[in-house]
Amino acid sequence: MTKIIKIVIIILIVLIIIGCKGKKSSKPVTREDLYTGTDGLVFNFLKNAPPDQVYASTETERSQFNVVIDLENKGAFNIEEGYLTLILEDDYMSIDDWDTTEEISYAGYN
């Protein structure tokens, strides 16, 4: 009986040693695994652009004002070859100068 107990103990010790050795991952950790960020593309209007009050245009005078948008990519990945599309209500507003074909790229939080 003591021989069997010794053999079982030796087998358990060997299994514990093999189990504690650990296994190396064949897949290396990439930079993408380290990226963080869940907000995506965030935009804010700059102060006073547009102004707090905007007046309606008249038949003789147009009411013009600037709009400045601050874009920030808070997402995990870069935005490449993106396009910013702006849609307006034609009866109320128009854009005098806007290049709709320009690509935009923003780096993410990485």
- In the chain, what are the domain boundaries? 32-106
pTM: 0.48
Q: How far is CA 55 from the centre of its chain?
A: 37
Band (pLDDT 50/70/90 cuts) for residue 93 is confident
Question: From CA 96, how far away is CA 67, in angstroms rounded?
Answer: 12
DSSP state of 31: H
Instruction: Write the pLDDT tens digit of every residue in 23-51.
Output: 666 666 666 555 666 788 888 988 888 88
